Amino acid sequence: MLTWNGDAANEADWPAADVVVGNPPFLGGSKKRGELGAAYANALDATFAPAVPGSADLVCYWFHKALRQMEAGNLTAAGLVSTNSIRGGNNRKVLEAITERSRIFNAWSDEPWVNNGAAVRVSIVGFGSAVTCSPTLNGVAVPQIYADLTAPQEAGDSLNLGKAQSLAANAAASYQGASKKAKFEIDAELARHWLLQPNPNGRPNSDVLKPWANGFELSRGPQHQWIIDFGIQMPESDAALYEQPFAYAQQHVKPERLKNNRDSYRKYWWRFAEARPGLRQALEKLPRFIATVAHSKHRFFVWLPVTTSPDQALITITRADDTTFGILHSRFHELWSLRKGTSLGVGNDPRYTPTTCFETFPFPPGLSPADTAHQRTEAVEGGALIPADLPKNYEPKVPPALDGIAPTAIINVRSHARSIAQAAQRLNTLREAWLNPPEWTVKVPEVVPLGLTASPYPDRTLPRPGFEKQLAERTLTKLYNLRPAWLAQAHAVLDAAVAAAYGWADYTPGMPDDEVLKRLLALNLAQADRG
């Protein structure tokens, strides 16, 4: 990609050719700097950004370069193998440029591949406007191929989710959990011991100790880990006054962090590398928040108490109402997130991100994150929580793309919020009863930290004697693998409530996925136009 003249880097010249066929190297954006060195990574950015974002996989430069060669008249077509993550995020920008300025005429979107003995997933893409054959995707003739390597049944952009825009109404509501860059996590029993110890500053260790939740916690059940968290601004001198947590960090965290290449990570070694101040501020007034595993076979959401520290493997949504929980857990958001996200690993697990999956999703009228930004809730019949102060009636604007399938003229936002919240609450209650049957479990109060009169942490759920093995086998992953009839029914009730909030009187469970996505895309574009 580059040639060097001393310390100066220049874009490498490619010779003219009829066709380029190749398997360029894959190297994720987060690994490029470490593998190639800072000088080379900086030179790539200086030469190719913003056409190829700095966070894009190394393979993307070959796609960009091939397109440039075609536009210069030095290349007719190219066929390149890529990581399958080229279909989404910043990687997809090179494919978007190709579909806008050329065409993809042949592609396999997601294929198994063995690279140096390691099983990976790849996309294979043939492109070039000079090739006039009918396009094929995964061996099937299609009218056109989109940048995310999907195709519609009919030509046009009504299903081109690559056109979806980030929505201002969804800003500042979803965050990735904290990135530690060292081992701050500790065993739960050690944390409980520390909670009973005094400190020279007279403060309890609960100031800096929290239950920790990572991806395994949500998908495989309790991991019984806590974490040391000195916040976002605490100076080292103050952190040292929490005697035992700080001593542990000195021994286990500091040596690892002092090896890090980033200056700030070494200088503030006792704090998380990326402590997510925006997330912390958004959680300040909440009793609980919503979380999902970033990379997961199933797209499920759970409630976590606000005393929990979420790991970077989790994506959080800073709302406490059951209505938002229900919308996110609907078929509509799941379909959207699967198409807008990417996938990872041999298992090809879908990846959920705040920017691509959440911030682009068109919520039902009157129930967007902007409408619930105050974060206040109110209880309705049965105890479900809806956003407070919702308007009773709302008249939605119908996107032109939905002409002929217009929603009802007036939407009773509060009534729909209540129906969604009650369905979501029931779904969560049934799931919790399956995960932790009262016949197999017992609630135990969490330890009261020294100096406090009550525990700030929720009660623990423990197995009754003799039920340890059975309880360990009950996980959300297993539940959604099984998908028993009661779970499918609870989701169907929730989906119907969310569809009604969109005003889709014609919705049935048999509505094709493409029709759902077409409607959601039209709503996204309409909401983006309105700002």
Tens digits of residue pLDDT in 409-434? 577 899 999 999 999 999 999 999 99
66 and 215 together in one domain:
no
| Structure tokens, 243 | 């005697």
457 and 509 together in one domain:
yes
Query: What's the pLDDT score for residue 30?
Result: 74
Structural domain contains residue 164? no
Q: What is the pLDDT of residues 48-98, one digit of tens each?
A: 999 999 999 999 999 999 999 999 999 999 999 999 999 988 899 999 999
Bin 496: left if φ > 0, else alpha if -120 < ψ < 50, else beta: alpha
Query: What's the pLDDT score for residue 402?
Result: 59
187 and 145 together in one domain:
no
Please give the tally of structural domains in the chain: 2
128 and 186 together in one domain:
no
| Structure tokens, 73 | 């008249």
Helices (H), 117-168: none
Enumerate the β-bridge partners of residue 387: 377
132 and 208 together in one domain:
no
232 and 138 together in one domain:
no
Please tell me the distance from the alpha carbon of residue 266 to that of residue 184, in angstroms, as a whole number: 15
319 and 438 together in one domain:
yes
Residue that terminates a domain, selected from 95, 127, 156: 156
379 and 462 together in one domain:
yes
Direct distance between the N- and C-terminal alpha carbons of the chain, in angstroms, rounded to an integer: 40
- pTM, whole model, 2 decimals? 0.91
Query: What's the pLDDT score for residue 531?
Result: 66
Q: Which domain holds residue 48?
A: 2-156
Task: Select from 358, 420, 413, 322 the least CA-distant residue to 173.
Answer: 358
Query: What's the pLDDT score for residue 405?
Result: 52
Handedness of CA 514, 518, 520, 525 (dihedral sign): positive
Please tell me the distance from the alpha carbon of residue 495 to that of residue 508, in angstroms, as a whole number: 9
102 and 61 together in one domain:
yes
User: Do 95 and 86 contact (CB within 8 A), yes or no?
Assistant: yes
Neighbours of 37 (CB within 10 A): 11
Phi and psi at residue 117, to the nearest 5°: 85, -10
Please tell me the distance from the alpha carbon of residue 45 to that of residue 54, in angstroms, as a whole number: 6
Parts of the chain with a pLDDT under 70: 117, 344-348, 394-409, 531
| Structure tokens, 477 | 């992953």
